Amino acid sequence: MVGSKAGDRKFRIVRTVAEFREQVSAWHRNDLRVGFVPTMGALHVGHMSLIRRAQEMTDRTVASIFVNPRQFGPNEDFAVYPRAEGKDTLLLAEGGVDLLFAPSVEEMYPGGAVTKVSVPGIGDILEGEYRPGFFTGVATVVTKLLLQAQPDVAVFGEKDYQQLLVIRRMVQDLDIPVQIEGAPTEREDDGLACSSRNQYLTENERAVAPQLYQIINAVAERYRKGERPPELTHWGKQALLDAGFGHVDYLEVRDAETLQGLSDPARAARVLVAAWLGKPRLIDNVPV
């Protein structure tokens, strides 16, 4: 156990589903509300802002660190995904988190675990199209985590905006009794969205990266002034290529709730982008 700043409360790490579930139900027996922030570790200020949001809303805060193999494609970075449990643990303890659940792959997927949760429709487009199986992996692990702990509130970042919508849909469809809270994207001073994968950027790429945010803001501004896809999104993609991005998987202005194309200009819209910059693939989004 590591002492935390939260008075006589102690920061604990548990690695089994049984301990995780027992601690959360003990808090519930004492009428304490529990907030949960699932993560894949390599924590940064973005994660800590999700933790603070959970702390504002509840009495006890739980984080999980689990690099979920089922949400990585065969050619993706599972093997080399940044892992920093020692540093993460200190950050969580310092940040006043009460419990860290850090299971092994065997604990989460014991032999024979074949059941999957998929969210067709919203899970098949944009990221779902470019990363087949990604949202099924996310939905499966998040369902398991929510059923294991049964927290009152779970907080997810708007940085992964489509993931947030997929999880809301899944929780609604499966009647999982939890409030899903979205938290705004944390950014570096130059606007780059905080992400564990930013550490893959070289110095030159890091200098180019903030233009992703600038260009999607420009697309949002042009949309507000009456420009429309596909001319508008062609303009945005070209601006990214001119800035030095290698390939743009998508840059779209979509309905902010359904992520379908916009037919009614009165509905809220969102600009979403995924583009490659050297080795890393960066994603970001802004409201219109």
Interface with ligand PAF (CB under 6 A): 38-40, 68, 71, 138, 141-142, 160, 163
Q: Is 234 a catalytic residue?
A: no
* Contacts of 120 by beta carbon, 8 Å cutoff, 6+ apart: none
Q: How far is the CB of 120 from ligand PAF (least distance, A)?
A: 18
| Closer by beta carbon to ligand PAF, 89 or else 233 | 89
| Closer by beta carbon to ligand PAF, 146 or else 239 | 146
Q: At what angle do helices 231-243 and 211-224 cross, to 10 degrees?
A: 160
Q: How far is the CB of 279 from ligand PAF (least distance, A)?
A: 19
Q: How far is the CB of 38 from ligand PAF (least distance, A)?
A: 4
Q: How far is the CB of 142 from ligand PAF (least distance, A)?
A: 6
How far is it, in rounded angstroms, from Cα 223 to Cα 261?
14
| Closer by beta carbon to ligand PAF, 47 or else 60 | 47
* Contacts of 280 by beta carbon, 8 Å cutoff, 6+ apart: 197, 198, 200, 201, 205
Please identify which of the residues 28, 44, 47, 234 carries the catalytic annotation. 47
What is the DSSP annotation of 71-119? GS-TTSSTTTS---HHHHHHHHHHTT--EEE---HHHHS-TT-------
Torsion angle (degrees, nearest 10) of CA 21, 25, 28, 29 = -170
**3-class DSSP state of 178:** coil
- Residue pair 242/236 in contact by the 8 Å Cβ criterion: no
Radius of gyration (Cα) for the chain, nearest Å? 19
| Closer by beta carbon to ligand PAF, 253 or else 274 | 274
Q: Which are the catalytic amino acids?
A: 47
